[in-house]
Structure formats: C-alpha cells, structure tokens
C-alpha cells in the first residue's frame, strides 16, 4: 500500500461541524510537491461533506459537459472512502480557484481532469476514511485495527457493532485528522478499473437533469439577441416600434454592438428581433476576407524565420521532400447553444449557466462593474463544451442586457448567432520539409507553423520567446528519433477574428500534419506506413499501441478496389494512441467504414467511459476533417447553421473496435486523444484508397 505522510499544517480549515454533520477540506495539491516551505502557503482544497442524513457530498472540482467526469472522479473518492457510487452526491464547486482549483486554476479542459485528481481525490477519500474509522474505534474503546470500513459503515469485527459515516461525523469534533494514510494497491480496487454506469445517466434519461438552457426563475423573461456581424460594427437603425407592437414583447435593449428583444416568451422575442429590421454599420473590419488571411500566413511563412520551439542543425540528404498543409477556422457547434440566465439587482448579479471556467467567468463579469464577491454563479450541466465554454462572452452579453431590467433574463443564442459569433479554433498553414538519405530516413526535419494564438487570446500574456507552446505541441516533441529537428512558429493573428481553444487543442492541429507527412515519407521510401514508423518510434508504449492496432485491424490483409486503410499515432495528453481508419472512395464520395483504436492511457478508471470518449472524439475529428470550415467574407462569417456547417450524421458514422492496453501507469488524458489522432489516419486512408493526397481541409476529392 502507498503510505502518504502529511503534516497537519497542510490541512487548512480541516473540519467544520454544522447541523450534526462534517465538512472536510483535503489538499488538492500533489503531496509529492509538499515541502517545509510550502506549509506557509495557503493550499487548495476539495470538500467532502457528510451530513447527519443523506449521501456523502463531493463538491466537484471539475465540470461535467458530457465527458463523464462526475462519475470518474466520484469513483476515485468512493474507492478510498469505501462507498458505493450511489452513496455519493455531486455539487458543482463555486468559483473559488484558491480552494477548488488546481494550481489556482479552476477550468476544465485539456484532458486533465483525471490526471489532476488521480492522487488528490484518492488521498481525500483515504484521509476521511481513516479519520472516521479512528473516531469510531475510540468511541467504542477498541483498537482501530479491529475496525473495518465498508459501504459507508464502520464495523467492529469482534462485537459487530456498527456506525454509519453520518453517525460518526459529529464525533470527530476536536479530533485531528490522521497524519499518515495508506492508499489502496490496485489489487484491492473494487471500482477503479471496472466499468461503472454513469451517475448522470438516469437524470438525463428521465429529463430531470438541469442544463443552463433549462433554468426557470420566478418572473423570468426571455431575450433574443443579434450581435453585430463584424467586430466593431454598430447599429445604424432599427424599427423599435414594430417590434414593441408584438404581443408579449417587453423591451428592446440596444447596446450598439448587440441588440436584444425582451419578451415574456422566446417565440415573441424572436419575432420581435426580426421585426426590428436592424441595419448595421460595418465597422473597421469589414474588409477582412478569407483569401487575404490565408495569403498573409503564407507570406509570413516565406519571409519570416519564425520563433524556434526546437532548433536543429543543417543537414543535407540525397532527396528533399516538401509539403504544405492548410487547416481552416473551426467552430465548436455544441448541441446546447450558448445561454445564460442573469438577474441583476443593484450591485449584485446572480448567474445561471454552464461554464468550463467558473473563476474566469467571475473575473470577466467583474470587469463590467461588479465586485467579485457580489457575483453569484450557479454552474449547470453542459450540453457540450469542447473549449467553447472556457470563454464567457455569451455570459457577458447576458449581463449587459439583464442590467437594463430588474428581473431574471434568459439569453439563448440562436444557432445562427452561435456559429457566426463563436471563438474559433485558429486556422493554420504548416510547411514541412525533410532531407532524406538513400534509405528514406530523415536526416533533417523542418516544420514551420503560421497561425493565431489561443494562448494569447486566453490570458493576454506575451508568448515566451515568441512560441505558443500549445500550437507546437505534438510538433516540437515528436515520438520519433529523428535527427536535426527544427520547429518554428510564425505568429499571424487573424486581425479581428476571435480565436480560442477547441477540442484537442494543439495536438489536434499538429498530429494531423506530422502523421500525414510521415505517411508521405513512407510512400517515398516504398515502405509500409506502420513499419516505417516503428523504425524510429522512441517510447515503448507508443510502439506497443502501434503493434496492437496493426494486429487488431488486420493491417496486412488485402482490401477490395476503392477501399483503403490509414494509420496515425501520438503520445500527447499523457496517453499513447494509435488508430487505423478504413474508407471506401468512389468518385468524389468518401465513406468511413471502420475505426480501430488502441489506447494506453495508463490505468483506465472507468473503461466503458474511456471507450465512449474515444468514439465520440473520433467522430468529432472526422466531422472536422470532412466538413468543418469557417470562412470570412467582408468581415463576416459566411456559415450560419448545420446546412453549411454540417456535422457527421448517424448514417455516416463508422463502426468502432477499441482496445485498451492494460497498464499500471497513472491515468493519462482521454477526452481529446482520438480527436487529435484520427484526422491523419483518415487522410492517409483516403490516399491509400484513391492515391489522392489531401493537404487542404476540409477534404475535397478530385474526380477519379
């Protein structure tokens, strides 16, 4: 068993007794980083609350947006606290990053939730379990080693006396939490590593689950909004009298860059918005067009050296191979459109919404003229996040509108506003060049990337040495043992186009071009794509997933005419993944037939949910590669709904075969791994089937 030693000085506000219950604060900082000096600092905490009745409450340090993290993190706690999953209830943490955050950051993203909490929540459960067990033993006057914890009950093995956790909680008053706790070895796990049903499924099936869009408050009114189609645009004219004549319409709010029709119901609000017949002045950015943006990136690549993420030495081979890849802006297109319900009462504001970054939301709303401690957030389940709900622009608009009224106002984006006013995944142009020796081995690998920086948009801080570490992730840390790698970033911000994080963050864009270019080199060397990769793969875990996916997919089995296979792999997010995609290509039509996935994510906490994330992430990536693009014309986004920003339909989705490598390593990230991996496998499969090399997304085939 793993024994962890913690000084009592590292437990701040250790317990609070209230109404016969217990609220416990457990450090969320990794105990391996604790030092004598660290004891003088305030530590982050996650809270466990045990009341005199009802389930044990975990105040969840991460947010649920469909990825199943409520279940996964509850399993970590329940395993060590000796509870069944149905004995735990979840509460969303309030926006207090110093208490509920990790490294003072309360956001959920980057496939970090399980990694962040793997040790911390298990430690929390073990600490409280031992505390309750020792308290019960002393209450009975027996040695603690004669007591056992099971399913929320402490039992004395000799007399069969028992107390529930709820009965013991008040008895902990004045008793210090144990300084030494033992974490279970894997051999004793009852929950972790075994598929468990999701805790949020019943409520989502019976309709009782509450998302931000479901909020209903007394006296609530509804707002339909129109945002200036170009950044910097403002209202030139509108027909307010026509809108107010519609039954149910209460008020028109004109904030120059955004107009809202307020009504007693959503239908009336939308009718009023149409009746306004808004005419917009274009603003200073109406000249922006897609072709000019792409041209500026290509020019920058050809004229600027770029900031070095990795510097390699010059080397010359017997052959040079070059390729240029383009990836467009991408929207998030979450099923639940952006929404927020806001009630402004003087200096105070109350907000109901779903956000991936509660602390960021409060910080931004405070800049609208409120004090942070006057802002109350109720964070709800989200119908998809994918990075969109890390940004809080939708809530800012809602607050600006709601401050004109004295009742709760619910603002829901239409799908058109949602697509046209997203915070987009930046577009990129990548130029790769390889100097090859006679065997086809790269003796120099050069990769230049041009595009905007989501990191800069996120925090406004200058990029260290001009390099956005997110953009080059997956490019500057290749799993291949190549010599003389040179990776550079040329920052080209897309003027007034707002950019932000998108599912898979940096690895999504980097793995696509790296693994596609690797396939090009394999083709030049007349080598099998998998064997070519295995020649230079460094991490043993990466080699393992590639070898297993080769066997799983029957890689060497011949396919019929029009069929093709493609492979891709990466080692990002603390996990290792390889995928093989099978496609059928006829003329300009592509059918994705099957996806084989092999993942080593360390110990899979909830294997069923890991498989679900692999499948969902794969569909997300396939959708982007086949259909996804946001284009600009005269300063405005051209796409507006699913007819011109389509998603992969059920009838188009492939079948999946997924294998998880059994591992004793700590858990890695899962939610974004397949999104980052599958796009290159798709492009490589298309080449295998049609001999057409796709370097410009979304996929467009020439006539056969």
Residue-wise pLDDT tens digits, 377-408: 999 999 999 999 999 999 999 999 999 999 99
Is residue 349 located within the same domain as residue 394? yes
Pick from 412, 434, 457: which residue ends a domain? Answer: 412
Q: Is residue 630 part of a domain?
A: yes
152 and 192 in one domain? Answer: yes
pLDDT band for position 35 (cuts 50, 70, 90) = very low
Report the 10 Å Cβ neighbour count for 36: 8
Residues 439 and 389 grouped into a single domain: no
R_g of the chain computed on alpha carbons: 27
What integer is the mean pLDDT of 418-444?
A: 97
- 3 state DSSP class of 564: strand
The answer as to whether 703 is a domain residue is no
Residue 33 has pLDDT above 50, yes or no: no
Residues 377 and 404: beta-carbon distance below 8 Å: no
Tell me, yes or no, whether 696 lies in a domain. no
Which residues, in sequence order, are bridge partners of residue 16? 23
Does 300 share its domain with 276? no
CATH of the domain at 177: 3.30.365.10
**CB proximity list for 47: less than 8 A, separation 6 or greater:** 23, 24, 25, 26, 58, 59, 93, 99, 100
8 A C-beta contact, residue 672 and residue 266: no
Residue 28, pLDDT above cutoff 70:
no
Range of the domain at 383: 213-282+338-412
Highest mean pLDDT among 31-40, 47-56, 284-293, 677-686: 677-686
Q: Is the pLDDT of residue 287 over 80?
A: yes
pLDDT higher than 90, residue 455: yes
pLDDT score of 623: 98
Lowest average pLDDT, out of 33-42, 442-451, 540-549, 643-652, goes to 33-42
Kind and range of the H or E element at 678?
helix 673-690
**What is the per-residue pLDDT across 536-586, written as a single tens digit (0 to 9) for each?**
999 999 999 999 999 999 999 999 999 999 999 999 999 999 999 999 999
For residue 703, what pLDDT band results from cuts at 50, 70 and 90? confident
User: 37 falls in which pLDDT band (50, 70, 90)?
Assistant: very low
DSSP state of 257: S
Residues 107 and 167 in one domain: yes
Q: Is residue 695 part of a domain?
A: no
Closest listed residue to residue 54, CA positions, set 19, 89, 93: 89
Checking if the pLDDT of 640 tops 70, the result is yes
pTM higher than 0.95 for the full model? Answer: no
Q: How far is CA 600 from the centre of its chain?
A: 19
365 in the same domain as 229: yes
Instruction: Answer yes or no: do 86 and 19 share one domain.
Output: yes
630 and 653 share one domain: yes
| 333: in domain | no
404 & 439 share domain: no
User: Does 253 lie in the same domain as 353?
Assistant: yes
Look at residue 683 and tell me if it is in a domain. yes
Residue at a domain's end among 138, 168, 201: 201
Average pLDDT for residues 49-53, to the nearest whole number?
83
Same domain, 524 and 455: yes
Residue 456 counted as domain residue: yes
Going by pLDDT thresholds of 50, 70 and 90, the confidence category of residue 13 is very low
Count of domains observed in the chain? 3
Q: Say what percent of the chain tops pLDDT 90.
A: 86
Rounded average pLDDT over 296-318? 96
The secondary structure of residue 381, as a DSSP letter, is B
pLDDT confidence band for 31 (50 / 70 / 90):
very low
Structure tokens at 184: 């279970």
Per the DSSP assignment, residues forming a β-bridge with 630 are 329
Strands (E), 620-704: 632-633, 636-637, 655-660
- Residues in Cβ contact with 238 at an 8 Å cutoff, skipping those fewer than 6 apart: 252, 254, 259, 276, 277, 278, 279
Same domain as 321, residue 252:
no
Encode pLDDT of 180-224 as tens digits.
888 999 999 999 999 999 999 999 999 999 999 999 999 999 999
CA separation for the pair 374, 362 (Å, rounded): 10
- How many C-beta atoms surround the C-beta of residue 134 within 10 A? 19
Predicted confidence band at 21 (pLDDT cuts at 50, 70, 90)?
low
Cα(531)–Cα(548) distance, integer angstroms:
13
Kindly state the DSSP code that residue 588 receives in the 8-state scheme.
T
The tens digit of pLDDT for each residue in 66-106 reads: 999 999 999 999 999 999 999 999 999 999 888 788 888 89
pLDDT digits (tens, 9 = 90+) for 646-659: 999 999 999 999 99
Tell me the pLDDT tens digit for each residue of 463-522: 999 999 999 999 999 999 999 999 999 999 998 899 999 999 999 999 999 999 999 999
DSSP code, position 148 = E
Does 418 fall in a domain? no
**Average pLDDT in the chain:** 92
DSSP code of 185?
A: P
- Residues 108-118: what's their mean pLDDT? 94
pLDDT surpassing 50 at residue 39: no
- What is d(CA 165, CA 554) in angstroms, rounded to the nearest whole number? 53
Residue 417: pLDDT over 60: yes
Final residue in a domain of this structure, among 377, 412, 447: 412
With residues binned 3-state (H G I as helix, E B as strand, rest as coil), the percentages for the chain, rounded to 5, are 35, 25, 40
């Amino acid at each position: 068993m793993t024994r962890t030693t913690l000084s009592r000085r590292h437990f701040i506000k250790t317990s609070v007794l209230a109404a016969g219950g217990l609220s416990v604060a457990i450090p969320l900082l990794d105990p391996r980083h604790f030092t004598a000096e660290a004891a003088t600092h305030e530590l982050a905490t996650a809270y466990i609350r045990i009341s005199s009745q009802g389930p044990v409450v975990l105040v969840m340090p991460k947010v649920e947006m469909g990825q199943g993290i409520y279940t996964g993190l509850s399993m970590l706690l329940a395993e060590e606290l000796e509870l069944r999953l149905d004995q735990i209830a979840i509460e969303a943490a309030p926006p207090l990053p110093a208490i509920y955050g990790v490294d003072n950051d309360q956001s959920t993203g980057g496939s970090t939730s399980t990694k962040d909490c793997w040790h911390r929540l298990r430690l929390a459960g073990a600490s409280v379990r031992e505390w309750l067990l020792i308290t019960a033993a002393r209450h009975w006057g027996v040695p603690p080693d004669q007591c056992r914890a099971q399913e929320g009950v402490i039992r004395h093995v000799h007399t069969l006396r028992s107390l529930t956790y709820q009965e013991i909680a008040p008895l902990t008053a004045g008793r210090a939490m144990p300084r030494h706790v033992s974490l279970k070895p894997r051999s004793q796990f009852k929950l972790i590593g075994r598929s468990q049903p999701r805790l949020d499924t019943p409520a989502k099936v019976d309709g009782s689950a509450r998302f931000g869009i479901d909020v209903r408050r007394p006296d609530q009114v509804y707002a339909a909004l129109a945002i200036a189609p170009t950044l910097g645009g403002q209202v030139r004219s509108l027909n307010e009298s026509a809108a107010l004549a519609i039954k149910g319409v209460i008020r028109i709010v004109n904030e120059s860059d955004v107009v809202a029709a307020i009504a007693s119901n959503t239908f009336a609000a939308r009718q009023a918005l149409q009746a306004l017949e808004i005419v917009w002045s274009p603003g200073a950015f109406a000249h922006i067009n897609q072709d000019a943006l792409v041209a500026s990136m290509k020019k920058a690549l050809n004229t600027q050296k770029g900031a070095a993420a990795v510097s390699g030495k010059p080397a010359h081979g017997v052959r040079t191979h070059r390729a240029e890849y383009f990836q467009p802006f991408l929207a998030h297109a979450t099923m639940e459109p952006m929404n927020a319900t806001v009630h402004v009462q003087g200096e105070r504001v109350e907000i109901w919404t779903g956000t991936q970054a509660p602390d960021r939301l409060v910080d931004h709303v405070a800049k609208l003229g409120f004090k942070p401690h006057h802002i109350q957030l109720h964070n709800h389940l989200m119908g998809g996040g994918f990075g969109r709900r890390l940004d809080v622009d939708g809530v800012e608009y809602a607050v600006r509108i709601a401050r004109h009224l004295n009742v709760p106002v619910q603002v829901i984006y239409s799908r058109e506003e949602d697509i046209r006013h997203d915070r987009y995944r930046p577009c990129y142009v990548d130029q790769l060049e390889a100097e090859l020796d006679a065997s086809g081995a790269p003796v120099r690998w050069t990769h230049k990337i041009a595009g905007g920086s989501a990191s800069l948009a996120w925090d406004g801080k200058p990029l260290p040495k001009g390099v956005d570490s997110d953009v080059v992730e997956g490019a500057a840390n290749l799993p291949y043992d190549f010599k003389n790698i040179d990776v550079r970033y040329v920052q080209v911000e897309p003027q007034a186009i707002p950019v932000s994080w998108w599912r898979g963050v940096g690895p999504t864009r980097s793995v696509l071009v790296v693994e596609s270019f690797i396939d090009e080199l394999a083709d030049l060397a007349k080598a099998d794509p998998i064997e070519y990769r295995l020649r230079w793969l460094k991490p043993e875990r990466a080699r393992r997933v590639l070898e297993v996916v080769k066997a799983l997919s029957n890689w060497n089995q011949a396919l019929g005419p029009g069929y093709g296979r493609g492979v891709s792999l990466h080692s990002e997010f603390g996990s290792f993944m390889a995928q093989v995609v099978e496609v059928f290509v006829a003329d300009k039509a592509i059918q994705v037939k099957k996806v084989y996935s092999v993942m080593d994510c360390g110990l899979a906490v909830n294997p069923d949910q890991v498989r679900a994330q692999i499948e969902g992430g794969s569909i997300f990536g396939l959708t982007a590669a086949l259909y996804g693009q946001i284009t600009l014309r005269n300063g405005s986004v051209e796409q507006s709904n699913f007819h011109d920003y389509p998603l992969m339909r059920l009838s188009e989705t492939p079948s999946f075969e997924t294998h998880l490598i059994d591992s004793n390593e700590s858990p890695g990230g899962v939610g974004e791994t397949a999104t980052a991996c599958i796009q290159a496998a798709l492009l490589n499969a298309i080449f295998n089937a049609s001999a057409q090399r796709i370097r410009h997304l979304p996929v467009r085939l020439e006539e056969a």
